[in-house]
Amino acid sequence: EGKTIIVGDVHGCLDELLHLIKECNYNSVIDRLVLVGDLVGKGPYGGQVVRWARENGALCVMGNHDEVLCAVKRGIRSLDTLHDPTHQKDYAFLSEDDWAWLMALPYYIILDGISTSSSSTSLTTNTKESNNNNNNGKGDNGVSRVHVNPHDRASSIIVVHAGMVPKIHFKEQKEIHMTTMRDILSNGDATHDSSLGGAPWPSQWDPSFHHPASYHIVCGQDAVRGLQLFPHATGLGLGCCDGGRLAALVLPDWEVITVPAKQMYSVPTKKLTSLPSSSTSASSSPSSTSL
């Protein structure tokens, strides 16, 4: 059986994507490659990432930056509202086949048949953070490998770009939440604004609400918090386009592999979370473990 490789927000970082899947030993014949959305914007090659994903049979969900371009293509908003020059460049690059593929992206994907690897079930060592967001504590090529041990070991995964509101069935989630949310406020409302004092939504996800099914959620979006490890949800946002890293969760081994950005393509508005030393393991806990 092949691997399932779930990759965080690419944001036009095509070189880093190709580097990452090479480090994951990606086999296009037997492996399943899944992208968490936001293929476009901020980075240098958003349009090329879309085309590569389409031509190579990658699965992908809709991200908020992808949705912005689709809104222009559908005539919902005008081209002159794309103030980010990378959005304009990506819009101009896409072919009609690229547009058809991009606009058809779902807001979530359910991955069934994720077998549990016995080799990683006992990895419970806490991670140790380094003081550098790129290469400190990594191999010569800056690659980081961390095994994680989620509490649920679910056989089914939901991939969504930003998140899902706890205690609402995944089929009833709002598109705006699935593409933009980061936090859950004390009143249960979802928000993309982390300054409002909410909790990271992955810390609140309760798969028992969907009993008898048990879904572990994998998302991107929240680059400031970094890689989030919670019992029932994993966040892969590490801000590659902002000079951080691009991350992949490789199943069934539950190994997180990251590669550094070649450069800072977009200036981050907030400091990115640091990463752990290499050859470490992480156990999900009720509080976030950011890598």
pLDDT tens digits along 65-111: 999 999 999 999 998 888 889 999 999 999 999 999 999 999 999 99
Band of the pLDDT at 283, cuts 50, 70, 90?
very low
Angle between helices 46-55 and 85-93 (to 10 degrees): 40
Cα gap 283→291, rounded to integer Å = 12
pLDDT > 70: percent of the chain: 80
Task: Return the minimum-mean-pLDDT range out of 107-116, 176-185, 256-265.
Answer: 107-116
> Which class for 73: exposed (0-12), middle (13-18), buried (19 or more C-beta within 10 A)?
middle
Task: Return the minimum-mean-pLDDT range out of 49-58, 128-137, 141-150, 259-268.
Answer: 128-137
Does the pLDDT of residue 132 top 90, yes or no?
no
Which one, of 12, 15, 19, 32, lies nearest residue 257 by Cα? 19
Q: What angle do CA 133, 220, 31 make, to 5 degrees?
A: 100
pLDDT > 90: percent of the chain: 56
pLDDT tens digits along 171-230: 899 999 999 999 999 888 898 988 888 899 988 887 777 655 678 899 998 888 888 998
Given a contact cutoff of 8 angstroms between Cβ atoms, the answer to whether 283 and 126 are in contact is yes
pLDDT tens digits along 237-253: 999 999 999 999 999 88
What is the tally of helices (H) and strands (E) in the chain?
A: 6, 15
Band of the pLDDT at 151, cuts 50, 70, 90?
low
Cα gap 170→154, rounded to integer Å = 16
Residue 164 pLDDT: 92
Does the pLDDT of residue 29 top 50, yes or no?
yes
Cα gap 56→42, rounded to integer Å = 22
**H-assigned helices in 104-196:** 175-180
Band of the pLDDT at 130, cuts 50, 70, 90?
very low
Pairwise pLDDT comparison (286 vs 238), residue with the higher score = 238
> Which of the given ranges, 33-37, 139-143, 236-240, has the highest pLDDT on average?
33-37
Question: Strand 280-283 and strand 156-160: pairing?
Answer: unpaired
Residue 8 pLDDT: 97
Which residue is associated with the tokens 């090479």?
22
Which residue is associated with the tokens 């969760």?
249
